[in-house]
Amino acid sequence: MVNFIVRRILQTIPVLFGVIVITFILMYMVPGDPVVSMVGERYDEETIHKLRKELHLDDSLPMQFVHYVSNVMRGDFGKSFITGGSVSEELLIKFPNTLILAVASMIVAIITGLTMGIVSSLKPQSILDKITMFFALAGISAPVFWVGLMLILFIGVFLQWLPPTGFGGIEHIILPAITLGLRSAAYLARLTRATMLDVLNQDYIRTARMKMLPEWKVILKHGFPNILIPIITVIGTDFGSYLSGAVLTESIFGWPGIGRYALEAILKRDFPVIQGTVLFMALMFILANLIVDIFYGIVDPRMRTEGKNG
Q: List all residues 6 or more positions away from 172 whose beta carbon is below 8 Å from its beta carbon.
A: 162, 163, 166
Answer yes or no: are the C-beta atoms of 249 and 144 closer than 8 Å.
yes
Distance CA 238, CA 98 (A): 14
pLDDT of residue 310: 45
Q: How many CB atoms lie within 10 A of CB 242?
A: 28
Domain 87-309 has CATH 3.60.15.10: no
217-225, long-range: CB within 8 Å, 24+ apart, which pairs?
A: 219/118, 219/122, 223/196, 223/199, 224/118, 224/196, 225/299
Phi-psi region of 59 (alpha: psi -120 to 50; beta: other; left: phi over 0): beta
Q: How many CB atoms neighbour CB 81 within 10 A?
A: 22
Cβ neighbours around 103 below 10 Å, total: 15
- For residue 110, the model assigns a pLDDT of 92
Tell me the CA distances in angstroms from 143 to 181, 219, 252, one per residue in order. 12, 33, 13
Do the beta carbons of residue 304 and residue 4 sit within 8 Å? Answer: yes
Tell me the pTM.
0.79
Cβ atoms within 10 A of the Cβ of 25, count?
Answer: 11
Question: What string of pLDDT tens digits covers the 310 residues of the chain?
Answer: 667 677 777 877 888 888 888 877 877 666 666 666 666 666 667 767 777 777 666 667 788 788 888 888 888 888 887 777 888 889 899 989 999 999 999 999 999 998 888 888 888 888 988 888 888 888 888 888 888 899 999 998 898 888 888 887 888 899 999 998 998 899 999 988 888 888 877 777 777 777 777 777 777 777 777 777 788 888 888 888 887 767 888 888 888 888 888 888 887 777 788 888 888 888 888 888 778 777 776 666 555 555 454 4
Least Cα distance to 255 among 101, 148, 81, 150 occurs for: 101
Among candidate residues 114, 301, 303, 292, the one with its CA nearest the CA of residue 196 = 114
pLDDT, residue 175, reads 92
